[in-house]
Structure 1
Amino acid sequence: MKTIKYTTCLTIFLLISFFAKAQSSSDLIVLETKKLFGNYSIIPGSAQKLTDREGYDNQPSFINNDQVAFSSIDEDGNSDIIVYSFDTEEFMNMTRTATKSEFSPRLTDCGKYISAVTVEEDSAQRLWLYPINFGEPELLYDDIEPVAYYAWYNNIAAMSLLGDPNKLVYPYSRENVAELAENIGNCIQKRPKTSEITYIDKGTSVVLNGKETFELKSYDLEEKISGNHGVALGQSDDFAWVDKNTLIMAKGQELYIKKINKSMEWEKIAVVSMPDYGAISRLAASPRGDKLVLVMERK
């Protein structure tokens, strides 16, 4: 695998900045949702807390329709991957490591692992695989680092690597690690039922109605061409695909959707007002479209 290197001082600075931003106090909130005749909506009054504590519970990702994985930092500052089951209403540690920290969990395409960005004992930040049968974890790419965010396509991870600038890469093979984009935001998502990897381009801004925002772009890993899905929602960093043609983002406590096959305009569909909580920072939609998990910052 091709090694991509950065200067030591720059890498250390970026790693510190990455985790300083990540470790704010936040909780997971779940909403009931429905999809009917292509329309996506939030069921009023359905917001409930999944977590409720001072600390960091963040980066949710559905591993199936009834379980969501997320990153959780304990009182000692160590991050592990936790899985919550909606049917049993129970939490389970997927990882419990004293000398490493795991972030950004996702189910792999094969369904046999939960992957995570792992900060190792020597501060290396690489992608690891954690078997769902609790077998021994496996290091995926030994010389691709430091990984910040990623998404899966065809059992291969498209990864954002910290640097100046940061780079979005996809290892088609050990000898061919393609650089797809630079200066991307903190969210990488595969567009459902396509070979597109989508992201927010932070390299150039767009002024819309007097306010600065950025473009939502894509790269088709099969066709090897770039695409554009219009503008993001203000300065928001996180987005999710509800289905192949429906995007969802948050601004403050407001939720918006955009149907890229019909209109490139954002439409407000709900306001999530919870006592003692501020803005929505991340979100994850369930595969069947009946749940939406939000991350909301504690005041």
Structure 2
Amino acid sequence: MSLHSFKKQPFAYITIIILIQLIGIISYAHAQDPADIYLVDTKNNILGFKIFPKTATRITKGELYNNQPKFINDLQLVFSAEDPSGNFDVIMYNWESGKFSNMTRTQNKHEFSPDLTNCGQYISAITVEEDSSQRLWLYPINLGEPELLYDDIQPVGYYGWHEDIAALSVIDEPSRLVYPYSREDVHEVALNPGRSIQQRPNTTEIVFLDKNSNIVADGRTTYELKSFDTETRETSSLGLALGGSEDFCWVDKNKLLMARGKELYLRQVNKSIQWEKIATFDIPGDISRISISPDHKKLALTVASLN
């Protein structure tokens, strides 16, 4: 199923959209907390995954929202950034040249959660539109006209790609994680998913946190990691996530990375249920979102800004 099969179609969903808006869905653009993005050197080989905390460098310097970094290749990442007027755009950063460039520059829209599509031709982003609709859009790398994807699925809170299909977290009571095999076959995966939705590398699995199955361990809320197999449509458990943490990223098929406070933890899901602390940072705030470059040489961290 091509991602283009879900692009905008002439169907009338205006009544549904209005009803959703009237129940008071709060959009992404409301009261985002200030944050900055740091880059860190890393290494992954047969000896294991290693992080070099002293190399942590802040690439954004401000009192605004800079968040949701995602690597699109070994030299560039994209992230959502707020400007002084309160507008949110997708920014691309090249760490070799140190240059920033706008992928979007919209006055009446806000773009969040950017990522690269499987075809490599688009940056996808959740867009808060002029009428407060919140849907997934595609922004061409060549800066051409953006295109709407999954026009009838909204409001979208978070998403994660598996090849050319995006698993979507739909804001509702409760939120629903869905996987749209086609317009007629939108499979409901789970209720109350966490905000981190990631493909497990080299598998047919999408992994998320199940916020229905939480326990309290050592005074911290802990959620279960769930895996949805897109081929069999079966859901299974990968054990518990790191207590007190919600964001994660895969280093490879079996190495899972999460953060708590100023520390990073690693777990090999095929070998252990234990989380191992592998790095501690001297940074002003706590770490939330994490992203790793394709060559495993860079890690991007979102850090709460204390400026």
TM class, shorter-length? over 0.9
Alpha-carbon RMSD across the aligned residues, in angstroms, is: 1.9
* Residues in 1 aligned to 2:252 and 2:16: alpha-carbon distance in whole angstroms: 36
* Residues in 1 aligned to 2:100 and 2:236: alpha-carbon distance in whole angstroms: 39
Provide the TM-score with structure 2 as the length reference.
0.91
Indicate the residue corresponding to 1:198 in structure 2: 207
Contact 1:11/1:163, CA 8 A, preserved across alignment: no
Q: 1:189 aligns with which of 183, 189, 198?
A: 198
Indicate the residue corresponding to 2:3 in structure 1: none
Provide the TM-score with structure 1 as the length reference.
0.94
Q: 1:113 aligns with which of 97, 122, 127?
A: 122
Question: 1:5: Cα distance to partner?
Answer: 5.5
Instruction: Confirm whether residue 237 of structure 1 aligns to residue 237 of structure 2.
Output: no
Indicate the residue corresponding to 1:291 in structure 2: 298
Contact 2:17/2:133, CA 8 A, preserved across alignment: no
Higher mean C-alpha deviation, range 29-38 or range 54-63:
29-38
* Residues in 2 aligned to 1:11 and 1:248: alpha-carbon distance in whole angstroms: 39
Question: 1:89: Cα distance to partner?
Answer: 1.1
- Structure 1 residues 211 and 298 mapped into 2: Cα distance closer, same or farther (>3 Å)? closer
Indicate the residue corresponding to 1:15 in structure 2: 26
Question: 1:218: Cα distance to partner?
Answer: 1.1
Extract unaligned runs of 5+ from structure 1: none
* Residues in 2 aligned to 1:44 and 1:291: alpha-carbon distance in whole angstroms: 11
Instruction: Confirm whether residue 82 of structure 1 aligns to residue 80 of structure 2.
Output: no
Question: 1:87: Cα distance to partner?
Answer: 1.8
Q: 1:151 aligns with which of 123, 140, 160?
A: 160
Question: 1:20: Cα distance to partner?
Answer: 3.8
Contact 1:10/1:163, CA 8 A, preserved across alignment: no
The percentage of aligned residue pairs carrying the same residue is 50
Q: Deviations over 1:211-260 (max 9, x none)?
A: 43110111000121112111111121110001110110000011001001
Indicate the residue corresponding to 2:229 in structure 1: 220
Question: 1:36: Cα distance to partner?
Answer: 2.2
For residue 233 of structure 1, give the secondary structure of its aligned residue in structure 2. Answer: coil
* Residues in 2 aligned to 1:107 and 1:166: alpha-carbon distance in whole angstroms: 24
Letter in 1 for 2:26: L
For residue 235 of structure 1, give the secondary structure of its aligned residue in structure 2. Answer: coil
Higher strand content, 1 or 2: 1
Letter in 2 for 1:216: L
Q: 2:265 aligns with which of 250, 253, 256?
A: 256
